[in-house]
Amino acid sequence: MAEAQQIQVPVKEAKGENSSTGPVSQRTMSGPAQNYMIRMLRIALYTIFVLCGQTSASLLTRLYYEKGGTSTWVETIVQVVGFPILLPYYFISQPKVMCSSNDTTTAVGTKPSSLLLLVCVYVYLGLLSAGNSYLYSVGFQYLPVSMVVLISATQLAFNAFFSYFLNSQKFTPFIINSLFLLTISSVLLVANNSSERPPGVSIRNYVLGFICTIFATATSGLSLASQQLVFRKVLKRQSFKVVMDLIIFQSLVASIATSIGFFASGDWKLLKTEMDGYALGKVSYVMTLVWTAVAWQVFIFGGVALVFELSALFSNVIAALGLPITPIAAIFIFHDKMSAPKGISMVLAIWGVISYAYQQYLDDRQLNTETKRVSEVSEV
C-alpha cells in the first residue's frame, strides 16, 4: 500500500497531539493558507459523503424490509459488496488527489510492513465489517429506522473507549460531556415501549433488534479505532492509495465472508420468490439493492477518508451529525413515530455533537496560533 517515499520535514506541535483528533491528525506547516483551504474542502467533501451516504443507505435499507424484503443476508451483502464502483476512481486518479496533512510527517526510510501483516490486517478489518453489517441488518429488520439511527449515536462513545486504548486518545471536558450526552440519549430510547414496534414484529425480535444494533455500534467504533491504529502503525506512509487499498481490500474480505453466510443460510434459494413478491415490483427490487450498495460505499469512503484526514473519533462525530436527518425523513417516508423519548434523545445527541465540535474549534485555534508562532520563529 505504500507509494514512493518522500523527504519531508515534520513540524512538532508544542503541546503534543491534538486532544480531539489523536495521532493520525498531526497537522503540519506543509504550506500556506492555500494548502489549508484545500484540506478544508477535502474534509467538507468527505463530510457530505458521510451524511448523504448514511442517510440514503439507512432509508433504502428500511425500504427493502418495508416493501417485502425478508433476507438479513441480502441486506448484509449489499452493505459491503459495492466497492467495485470505486475501482475506476482508484485507477484514474493521481496519487496526490488525497494527501492528508500528516503525509508531511512521514520519516525518510520508513520500512514498509510485511505482506503477511497487511493480509492479517485486511482480514481482521474485513471480518469486523462483515459482522457489523450483519448486526445492522438485523437492527433495521426489527426496529424503526429512526431508532436504529439514534442508537447508532452511541458509536461515538464506543469509538472513544477503543481509541483511548488503541490510539492514546486524550479526553477533554468537552469530549467527556459529548460522550456522556450521547450515552444518555441512547439510554432514553430504552424507555420506548413496544408500541414503537414495526407491524408484525414480536417483542422477542424487537429486543433482538435493539441488542444487535447496540453491538453493531460497538463494532463500528472498534473498526474505526482499528483503522486509525492501522494508518499509524502498519501502513505508516499516508497517501490516496493507502486509503483506497484499505477500503477495497477490507470490503473484498467482507464480501467473501458475507457471501459464504448468504449461501450457507440458504437465502439464495428465496431470491426469486422475494423478488416476485416485492411490493414495488422486480425492477424496483433490484434498484433498491443496487442504490443501497452505492450509498453504503459512499458512506464508507467518506468515513475512512475522515479517519485518514483527522481521526476515528472525528469521523464518528460527523456520522452523528446525520441524527436529525434520517429520523425526520423516516417520519414522512415510513410514518415512524417521534415520541417524547425519541425527541429528547435527539436533542441530547445533537448537544453532544456540538460539544465535541466546539472542542475541535478550540484545537484548531490553538493549532493556528502555534503554526503562526513557528512561522515567525523560522522567518527570524
Task: Report d(CA 380, CA 378) in Å as an integer.
Answer: 5
Which tens digits make up the pLDDT trace of 231-274?
888 887 667 778 788 889 999 999 999 999 999 988 888 888 88
3-class SS letters over 5-60: CCCCCCCCCCCCCCCCCCHHHCCCCCCCHHHHHHHHHHHHHHHHHHHHHHHHHHHH
Buried b (16+ CB within 10 A) or exposed e, 9-36: eebebeeebbbbbbbbbbbbbbeeeeeb
| Phi, psi (deg, nearest 5) at residue 247 | -65, -50
Q: What are the Cα distances from residue 326, in Å, to 59, 75, 97, 150, 216?
A: 7, 18, 31, 9, 18
**CA neighbours closer than 13 Å in the CB half-sphere of residue 313:** 31
Task: List the chain residues with pLDDT less than 50.
Answer: 1-30, 95-109, 193-194
pLDDT for 30 equals 46
> Which pLDDT belongs to residue 8?
35
pLDDT at 301: 87
What does the pLDDT read at residue 196?
A: 62
Nearest residue to 227 via CA among 87, 49, 22, 89: 22
Helix, strand or coil for residue 304? Answer: helix
Side-chain-side CA neighbours of 96 within 13 Å: the count stands at: 6
According to the model, what pLDDT value does residue 54 have? 86
- What pLDDT is stored for residue 346 in this prediction? 75
Domain boundaries, the chain: 42-93+114-366
Q: Show the beta-strand stretches assigned E in the chain.
A: none
Q: How many helices (H) and strands (E) does the chain have?
A: 14, 0
Burial 78-96 (b: 16+ CB within 10 A, else e): bbbbbbeebeeebeeeeee
The reported pLDDT for the residue numbered 111 is: 64
Q: Which residue has the cell 512538532?
A: 12
pLDDT of residue 110: 55
Residue linked to cell 490486517: 121
* Residue 66 near residue 145, CB atoms below 8 Å: no
Buried b / exposed e over 299-308, threshold 16 CB at 10 Å, is bbbbbbbbbb
| Dihedral angle sign, alpha carbons of residues 309, 313, 319, 322 | negative
Residue listed under C-alpha cell 502498519: 234
What letter would DSSP give residue 197?
Answer: S
Determine if the pTM surpasses 0.85: no
Best CA proximity match to 237, nearest among 22, 2, 27: 2
Q: Can you tell me the distance from the alpha carbon of 271 to that of 109, in angstroms, rounded to the nearest whole number? A: 53
How far apart are alpha carbons 46 and 43 in whole angstroms?
5
Q: Phi and psi (nearest 5°) for 5? A: -75, 145
